Chain A
Amino acid sequence: MAEISIAAPPASPTEAADHAALHRTLFIALAALLVVLPFIPVIGYPFFLMKVLCFALFACAFNLMLGYGGLLSFGHAAYFGFASYVSAYTAKHWGLTPEASILLGTASGAILGLAFGSLAIRRQGIYFAMITLALAQMVYFFSLQTPRFTGGEDGIQAVPRNALLGVLPLSNDTVTYYLVAAIFMAGILLIYRIIHSPFGQVLKAIRDNEARAVSLGYRVNQYKLAVFVLSASLAGLAGATKAVAVQLASLTDVHWSMSGEVVLMTLVGGMGTVFGPIVGAAVIISMQNFLAGLGAWVTIVQGVIFVICVLVFREGIVGVIGKWLKKPL
């Protein structure tokens, strides 16, 4: 993963503190925005916003592995989609409360991540990506072949929104939206903490120069597996939340094109930036939503945007803004 560009690092202790303060401000602004968003016309309908937030969390989870761990997974849909099935199934057929089904979904992402990760980390670069893709395809075909669990081509529809903790009814989309927004904020704050932890430092070192990290005595595979499981769990959290939010789990979520889409969101927004994947997800989901009238042409428009992105601003939207401001975002 030689071509990973990162915004400028802190140049002095005070600057590092400045950046932390900037990030804090941005997180507060983001939280405030999430509170008022449902009241803004045109984009402010909760169903759309929930979708954006779930995919934004998914992209952030993916970016944790690619942007900070230097590991390109091409099968992240497996954790997202499988968790979404588990969450939808347990809510619908076992009648579990949302928090329980979301937790179970997240756990299924973690377990899948542990199993797939321990195989994939044995190889590097393109081989790593191929193994993750192949394993994710197994999950897709499993989902296709087990309609009793996944509903096959129909998916699991009309997932019930049971009362949160058994008491708080998720009576309408707006209430559910605030639950999703809270999960999203918790998720990205956790990711931010991971990036800025001693563990995160080692991770960045491995991304930058794996052989050197080995020669310093780091057992790099254990670190890679750890970030793989963290990323898969968070992708699972996003998928499980999505099943409750949009009340549907379907084959689309485990399909390989979903793995491609999360790569696209991350690159458009800015790989290796904190806020990039959120922006990327918002852009891609908005396009799919507001250009839906174009039908199949949406995919072509998406493709064109991707090509422009790679050619003109490889750092992604937020990466470019960060460069202008000379601050890591």
Chain B
Amino acid sequence: MVGTSDEIILQTRGLTKDFKGFTAVSEVDLDVRRGSIHALIGPNGAGKTTCFNLLTKFLIPTRGTITYKGQDITQAKPADIARLGLVRSFQISAVFPHLTVLENVRIALQRKRGDNFDFWTSEAVLSALDAEAERLVEAVGLKDFVRHQAVELSYGRKRALEIATTLALDPEMMLLDEPMAGMGHEDVDRIAELIRRVSANRTILMVEHNLSVVASLSDRITVLARGKVLAEGDYATVSKDPRVIEAYIGAGHG
């Protein structure tokens, strides 16, 4: 837990989302400490992904507040929170399939140029960003694929590319939506290692099904069930909590 401070970087209070009579997320109070790896787990249908989409502003909460670095972002737009340094990944791999690996990462680096609509400039100006893009591509082990179209990559490599693209924004906080979903064994280890590596000086909140990954990576775990917070603490604490065991075993999912 090196680098974890007591400062709360992301906080929710009474976060609730109703879908036409069905409450997917109910009164969730979440405190994510700066510098920690925080996992959000729970059986299927617990509201993890809804919660995640609320935090990333892809959904608007029915009630409750979300505060990021002391700033109320409850009504902010998705593109705006990215500008504040809160960047998300997606459950289905989110790359730009018809751009090359290099271009994928460069698109994120291009953000530094600001809101620039310079359609009259040659894209040659972007080659200034190539070196940094290549460094990021190399850091996630995709050096050999730098000129390939993203669509040609294997699933695990697409996820690695996605992380490289997210890192290109140098976000203070990363929200990872099931980073291991649908991955083979070697890929899981590789991405887990990658997450651990990039977590230095950053805060990570992730939704994850793979409990061994959660156990080895996270500093803190929040367990959701039926839209509510069931338990919170480190892995040793929550894994022994009888309510958590019941929610997992009793619900018949894992």
Q: Binding site of A, secondary structure by majority: helix, strand, loop or mixed?
A: helix
A9-B99, A199-B118 as given contacts; A205 in contact with B107, CB under 8 Å: yes
From A2, which residue of chain B is reached at the shortest CB distance? Answer: B97
In-complex Cβ contact of B78 among A6, A205, A207, A214 (8 A): A214
Query: How many Å from the CB of A100 to the closest CB on chain B?
Result: 23
Instruction: Give the chain A neighbours of B115 by CB distance below 8 A.
Output: 219, 222
Does A215 contact B97, Cβ atoms closer than 8 Å? Answer: no
A8-B149, A9-B99, A215-B88 as given contacts; A197 in contact with B79, CB under 8 Å: no
From B168, which residue of chain A is reached at the shortest CB distance? Answer: A216
Q: Report how far A6 CA is from B99 CA in the complex, Å.
A: 10
Contact digits for B113-125, partner A, Cβ 8 Å, 1 yes 0 no? 1011111111101
In-complex Cβ contact of A9 among B58, B82, B98, B107 (8 A): B98
Give the number of A-B contacts (CB < 8 Å): 115
Does B119 contact A197, Cβ atoms closer than 8 Å? Answer: yes
The answer to whether B110 has its CB under 8 Å from any CB of chain A is yes
Does B123 contact A200, Cβ atoms closer than 8 Å? Answer: yes
Query: How many Å from the CB of B43 to the closest CB on chain A?
Result: 26
Q: Report how far A200 CA is from B120 CA in the complex, Å.
A: 10
Q: Report how far A204 CA is from B118 CA in the complex, Å.
A: 15
Instruction: Give the chain A neighbours of B121 by CB distance below 8 A.
Output: 197-199
Does A200 contact B119, Cβ atoms closer than 8 Å? Answer: yes
Query: How many Å from the CB of A3 to the closest CB on chain B?
Result: 12
Q: Name B's A-contacting residues (CB within 8 A).
A: 56, 58, 78-80, 82-83, 87-90, 94-100, 103, 106-108, 110-111, 113, 115-123, 125-126, 147-149, 165, 169
The list of the 6 closest CB pairs from A to B, nearest first, reads A217-B82, A208-B96, A199-B119, A212-B94, A194-B119, A6-B98
Mind listing 29 A-B residue pairs with CB under 8 Å? A9-B147, A10-B100, A11-B148, A193-B122, A194-B120, A196-B122, A196-B123, A197-B120, A197-B121, A198-B121, A198-B123, A198-B125, A200-B123, A204-B96, A204-B98, A204-B99, A208-B98, A209-B95, A209-B96, A214-B79, A215-B82, A215-B87, A215-B94, A216-B87, A216-B107, A216-B111, A217-B79, A217-B80, A226-B119
